Amino acid sequence: MVTRPHKVVILSVVVVMIVLGAGIYFFSAHNQDLQEPPLGEIAAGEVDPAVWGKYYPRHYDSYQENFQDKEHPSHFETRPYMKTMYAGGGFGVEFNEPRGHVYTLEDIRNIDPARRKAGAACNTCKSPEIPALMDQYGDKYYQMTFEEINDKLEHPIACLDCHDPKTMDLKLTRKPLLEALQRQGQDTGKFTRQELRSLVCAQCHVNYYFEPGTKKIVFPWDQGLDAGQMLKYFDDLQFVEWNHPLAGTGLLKARHPDYEMFQGSTHQTAGLACADCHMPYTRVGNVKISSHRWTSPLNNIEQSCTVCHREGVDWLQERVQTIQSQTKQLEDLAGQAVVEAINELAAAQETPGVDEKLLQEAREMHRKGQWYLDYVLVNNGGGFHNPTASLNCLGQAIDYAHRSVELARASRNT
Ligand code: HEC
Ligand code: HEC
Ligand code: HEC
Ligand code: HEC
């Protein structure tokens, strides 16, 4: 006969088992796909995403959705001063906003040929076939023409760019990033999963320049990753990307420093990675996968933001809009100031007996001002990735541009 205390024990055990069972059921139902073991049948260098899609159909479907992101309006429509800033360089001819990853090859083939002057290197961030070609040709790759490499490419950005097909782990495949990290003394085999969820993007969404002579793609990170540290890096090298035809200034070109701008932001210091907002977990049928549609998180705030933020969708949307419109306002002010500097420099250049020393100082100020403005203009996200750093850069841009205007005027009046 079972005594009363025993009954209580048996009842408790039954209740505990039911709760545990239900817990395990719900946990695995929510994480089913994430725990699927790798199938390991994809060939080591498989560049075709459709082949990966046979094993990971949900991910492939999600990837295919990138075809929906077709729009890529010209930057010049909203920021006409960019045309004046970039005059004499390839970017002054045509410069569009980005669109879906699956359009990389189409877009680079359709761009104005003036933009492809750097040759083979332009293809580096456009296809999963590149790392093998770089291995094949070594540093000669950078000396080849745009067409010599482009003609060989078949696939836009795809699975092999970020994954090891054997284990499905995240993998860094781009040499310029690996080299920059090695110069910093980092062990590139030892990144955490969370670090890799940003670093896979840093393979391409970063600032870079072409090393004079070798034409190699180099990340100017050796003195640090913020705008001021990169400017110092270039100044120390006395690097000039092109000379402005009106102003006579030796200029720099910033290129989408998305990863760099994110450093030190509220979200980065709180431990977030690019994938947290741009590849949120999305439900497909009864499983969850990381979304492989790389787009504006505002298209899916519920998955991208409200997992952490209790504030509603409207509040979040408004915060993003406020940050972006305040950033745009200062961009426009800085744009006007830099254009004014260019005009003043152009007038000074034409003036007989101009004070060359003051003129040169005015050009120095133009170089710095344009750099700080460009750094924000070409950064994706309209200031959201790091609002304070963006506004700080724009404040410096306005100050340098005004100093350039003053010095250029003074150079004529001596
Ligand atoms: C731009 C980089 C990138 C590309 C390209 C890419 N992935 Fe991913 N993938 C990621 C990231 C980041 C994660 C999240 C990994 C993590 O959290 O550990 C991920 C996760 C996964 C996972 C693990 C399960 C999950 O949903 O989190 C699978 C499977 C996967 N990707 C398949 C693919 C396939 C198939 C393709 C090509 C059609 C592809 N990926 C292309 C970056 C990429
Ligand atoms: C191999 C290079 C490469 C990698 C890796 C890469 N990107 Fe991109 N990304 C690009 C290029 C190039 C474009 C612009 C494509 C175009 O306009 O044709 C782009 C465009 C985008 C866009 C704009 C899409 C749109 O519709 O406007 C987003 C968002 C984006 N990437 C996010 C990411 C995130 C997040 C990661 C990391 C998980 C990542 N990218 C990894 C090269 C890359
Ligand atoms: C806290 C969330 C968050 C994180 C983390 C984040 N982003 Fe963004 N990103 C955004 C928002 C919000 C926008 C603005 C979208 C818009 O204007 O529609 C954006 C815009 C972009 C765009 C342009 C997309 C478009 O449609 O205009 C790219 C490219 C991009 N981010 C890349 C990155 C990269 C690379 C990282 C990591 C270094 C990153 N983001 C980290 C939230 C985030
Ligand atoms: C993984 C968690 C996480 C996700 C996802 C996330 N955030 Fe945040 N966010 C934070 C944390 C943590 C802070 C800082 C502390 C706080 O304000 O709660 C923060 C702060 C903010 C702030 C105020 C600080 C600032 O820099 O202006 C805004 C605005 C914001 N987030 C918007 C967004 C938007 C929009 C998204 C989606 C695109 C998003 N967040 C996604 C965790 C997250």
Within 8 A by CB and 6+ apart from 379, the residues are 256, 257, 258, 261, 385, 390
What are the residue ranges of helices labelled H in 265-355? Answer: 266-269, 274-278, 301-304, 313-350
Residue 285: which region, alpha, beta or left (left: phi > 0; alpha: psi -120 to 50)? left
Q: How do beta strands 242-243 and 217-218 pair?
A: unpaired
Q: What is the pLDDT of residue 38?
A: 55
**pLDDT, tens only, 64-81:** 999 998 888 888 889 999
- Ligand 2 atom 37, closest CA: 201
Q: Rounded to an integer, what is the distance from CA 272 to the centroid of its chain?
A: 15
Nearest CA to ligand 3 atom 9: 381
pLDDT over threshold 90, residue 220: yes
How do residues 258-302 score in pLDDT, each as one tens digit? 999 999 999 999 999 999 999 999 999 999 999 999 999 999 999
Helix (H/G/I), strand (E/B), else coil: 111: coil
User: Residue 1: pLDDT band by 50, 70, 90 thresholds?
Assistant: very low
What is the 322 CA–ligand 4 centroid distance (Å)?
14
Instruction: Specify the pLDDT at position 177.
Output: 98
Q: How far is the CA of 13 from the centre of ligand 3 (A)?
A: 49
* pLDDT band at residue 413 using 50, 70 and 90 as cut-offs: confident
Who contacts 89 (Cβ-Cβ below 8 Å, separation ≥6)? 241, 242, 251, 253
Residues 303-321, mean pLDDT to the nearest whole number:
95
> In this structure, which amino acid lies at residue 106?
E
- The letter for the amino acid at 222 is D
Q: Residues near ligand 1 with C-beta < 6 Å?
A: 34, 49, 52-53, 56, 59-60, 63, 157-159, 161-163, 168, 170, 193, 197, 200, 275, 279, 289-290, 292
Question: Is the per-residue pLDDT at 47 higher than 70?
Answer: yes
Average pLDDT, the chain: 92
How far, in Å, is the centroid of ligand 4 from the Cα of 321? 14
The whole-number pLDDT of residue 271 equals 97
363 to each of 260, 342, 407, how far by Cα in Å? Answer: 26, 9, 9
Which pLDDT does position 40 carry in this prediction? 59
Q: Which residues line ligand 4 (CB under 6 A)?
A: 266-267, 270, 272, 276-277, 297, 304-305, 307-309, 316, 319-320, 387
Residue with tokens 């989408």: 256
**Cβ-contact 370, 398 below 8 angstroms:** no
DSSP letters for 170-189: B----HHHHHHHHHTT--TT
Pairing between strand 217-218 and 209-210?
Answer: antiparallel
Among 162, 174, 282, say which to mutate for ligand 1: greatest number of ligand atoms within 8 Å of CB.
Answer: 162
Model confidence at 7, in pLDDT bands (50, 70, 90)?
A: confident
Mean pLDDT calculated for residue range 18-28:
61
Test site for ligand 4: of 279, 296, 305, 385, most ligand atoms within 8 A of the Cβ? 305
pLDDT, tens only, 150-200: 999 999 999 999 999 999 999 999 999 999 999 999 999 999 999 999 999
Q: What are phi and psi of 281, to 5 degrees?
A: -65, 130
Residue position matching structure tokens 């800085």: 334
Ligand 3 atom closest to the CA of 261, numbered from 1: 38
pLDDT at 303: 93
Closest residue to atom 30 of ligand 4, CA basis: 316
Whether the CB of 274 sits within 6 Å of ligand 3: yes
Q: For residue 304, which atom of ligand 3 is closest to its CA?
A: 2
User: Are the C-beta atoms of 107 and 128 separated by less than 8 Å?
Assistant: no
Report CA 229 to chain centroid distance, whole Å.
Answer: 18
Atom of ligand 4 nearest to the CA of 266: 26
User: Between these two residues, 290 and 31, which has the higher pLDDT value?
Assistant: 290
| Contacts within 8 Å (CB) and 24+ apart, 50-58 | 52/158, 52/159, 52/160, 52/163, 52/165, 58/33, 58/284, 58/285, 58/287, 58/289
Of 191, 198, 204, 256, the one to substitute when testing ligand 2's pocket (max ligand atoms within 8 A of C-beta) is 204
CA nearest to 200, candidates 259, 263, 130: 259
Distance CA 103, CA 127 (A): 10
Q: Sign (positive/negative) of CA torsion 127, 128, 133, 134?
A: positive
What is the Cα–Cα distance from 171 to 164, expressed in whole angstroms?
Answer: 6
In the predicted model, is pLDDT for residue 30 greater than 50? no
Q: How far apart are the first and last CA of the chain?
A: 113
**Prediction pTM value:** 0.92
- Contact call for residues 329 and 376 (beta carbons, < 8 A): no
- Residue 148's contacts (CB-CB under 8 Å, 6 or more residues apart) are 120
